[in-house]
């Protein structure tokens, strides 16, 4: 395809792969052959490959910071450039329909990089017996590179509606005595439909943190079961199967001292930060987090302990990593801070924080 008389097509391609999606979309208007060229799947693949290559990846990457403000229905999404941490407010206004749910927001923004939001059709959940109720058990969004398809994975727990809801809510009910079913389904953008996939019987904790998907197309959550098992539940987006990896050590299973587990990605591998509270002599509470990295799915021995963050005061939880040893932290006063693990320096970067617990969400994001 000849694009113009003077400039060879292969050189033009080399220039276009460097351009961000927003420029390319605009330049479709240049002429018919440019429009066809830019819209062509081959070019899109080339562009994605180029953008994701290790040497280029970080130049275009951004962090999305999703904040829930004091006014419950208001979310603010800011972007931080990966290289410079320059803050800017997102260009895409988020549909107000979704303001209540953090993780749904994440999914919408990622799809929204093309400024297209798609209403996903209602799935066909199996008919439930009358005394069962459904509880969402984690949702994730990802890209299947093998088939160039976007997918959503959604899990549910169906359990018997216990006659005495109060007792259940007070944690006085042994879930083992209740009938529980686990159900998972995958939505494919290509087919615009949901299909059931084999589920695994695990509860996803902190589902509002969202599924963390790496570039290899594996989405991850922290999960547990009713038998005091805890670990990583992963979903292979291309193969549509679940994998589980138990946590590094049995001693880390929830007890009175351990507080919380945060999970995120570090260099495409799953990392967890397991926290402890330290009651300091003066009565103030300090938190410590041990960061572990999983090198091989399913292999417990492949966890390595990276380092300990803290003890620190005034920190609610860690969020994401930046450049290996700097970590985003959410502070008790609702601010977003950066902490350098090696130098132990702390710096506040976003002041617009809310009062809510877990009001921040930081996701690394690349436009493609």
57 or 258: CB nearest other proteins: 57
Is there binding between residue 281 and other proteins (CB under 8 A)? no
116 or 177: CB nearest other proteins: 116
Number of shown-chain residues binding other proteins (CB under 8 A) = 29
Give the one residue of 2, 5, 73, 255 binding other proteins; rule: CB under 8 A: 5
The answer to whether the beta carbons of residues 162 and 183 sit under 8 Å apart is no
> Exposed/middle/buried for 330, CB within 10 Å: 0-12, 13-18, 19+?
buried
Give the one residue of 1, 2, 8, 194 binding other proteins; rule: CB under 8 A: 8
| CA pair distance 48, 234, nearest whole angstrom | 24
**x/- letters, 84..123, toward other proteins (CB under 8 A):** -------xx----------------------x--------
For residue 349, CA distances in Å to 14, 163, 195, 273, 323 come to 36, 49, 42, 21, 16
The answer to whether the beta carbons of residues 328 and 314 sit under 8 Å apart is no
Smallest distance from other proteins to CB 16, Å? 8
Window contacting other proteins (CB under 8 A); options: 9-17, 228-236, 305-313, 328-336: 9-17
145 or 189: CB nearest other proteins: 189
- Residue 208 three-state SS: helix
Is there binding between residue 43 and other proteins (CB under 8 A)? no
Please enumerate, as own/partner, the contacts of 17-21 that have beta carbons within 8 Å and a separation of 24 or more.
17/46, 17/47, 17/50, 17/51, 18/50, 20/60, 20/367, 21/113, 21/114, 21/367, 21/368
Is there binding between residue 7 and other proteins (CB under 8 A)? yes
20 or 129: CB nearest other proteins: 20
Give the one residue of 1, 2, 11, 119 binding other proteins; rule: CB under 8 A: 11
Q: Which residues pair with 204 in a beta bridge?
A: 223
For residue 65, CA distances in Å to 34, 91, 141, 232, 363 come to 34, 13, 17, 24, 7
> What part of residues 20-39 is at the interface with other proteins (CB under 8 A)?
20, 22-23, 25-32, 34-35
The answer to whether the beta carbons of residues 104 and 117 sit under 8 Å apart is no
| CA pair distance 343, 308, nearest whole angstrom | 13
**x/- letters, 177..216, toward other proteins (CB under 8 A):** ----------------------------------------
Q: What is the contact surface with other proteins in residues (CB under 8 A)?
A: 3-8, 11-12, 14-16, 18-20, 22-23, 25-32, 34-35, 91-92, 115
């Amino acid at each position: 395809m000849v694009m113009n008389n003077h400039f060879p097509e292969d050189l033009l391609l080399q220039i276009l792969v460097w351009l961000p999606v927003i420029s390319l979309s605009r330049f479709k208007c240049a002429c018919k052959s440019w429009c066809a060229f830019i819209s062509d799947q081959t070019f899109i693949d080339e562009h994605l490959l180029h953008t994701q290559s290790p040497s280029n990846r970080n130049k275009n990457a951004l962090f999305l910071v999703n904040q829930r403000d004091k006014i419950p229905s208001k979310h603010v999404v800011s972007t931080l450039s990966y290289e410079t941490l320059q803050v800017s407010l997102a260009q895409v206004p988020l549909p107000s329909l979704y303001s209540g749910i953090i993780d749904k927001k994440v999914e919408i923004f990622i799809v929204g990089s093309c400024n297209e939001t798609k209403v996903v059709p209602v799935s066909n959940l199996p008919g439930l017996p009358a005394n069962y109720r459904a509880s969402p058990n984690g949702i994730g969004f990802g890209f299947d590179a093998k088939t160039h398809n976007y997918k959503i994975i959604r899990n549910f727990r169906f359990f018997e509606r216990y006659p005495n809801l109060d007792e259940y809510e007070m944690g006085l009910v042994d879930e083992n005595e209740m009938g529980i079913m686990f159900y998972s389904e995958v939505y494919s953008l290509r087919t615009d439909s949901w299909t059931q996939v084999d589920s695994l019987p695990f509860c996803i904790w902190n589902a509002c943190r969202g599924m963390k998907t790496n570039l290899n197309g594996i989405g991850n959550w922290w999960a547990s079961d009713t038998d005091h098992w805890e670990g990583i539940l992963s979903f292979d987006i291309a193969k549509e199967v679940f994998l589980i990896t138990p946590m590094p050590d049995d001693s880390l299973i929830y007890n009175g001292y351990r507080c919380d587990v945060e999970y995120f990605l570090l260099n495409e591998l799953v990392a967890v930060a397991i926290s402890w509270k330290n009651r300091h002599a003066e009565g103030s509470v300090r938190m410590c987090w041990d960061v572990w990295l999983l090198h091989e799915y399913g292999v417990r021995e492949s966890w390595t302990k990276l380092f300990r963050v803290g003890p620190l005061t005034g920190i609610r939880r860690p969020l994401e990593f930046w450049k290996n040893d700097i970590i985003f932290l959410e502070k008790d006063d609702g601010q977003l801070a950066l902490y350098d693990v090696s130098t132990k320096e702390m710096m506040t970067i976003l002041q617009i924080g809310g009062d809510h617990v877990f009001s921040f969400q930081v996701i690394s994001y690349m436009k493609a």
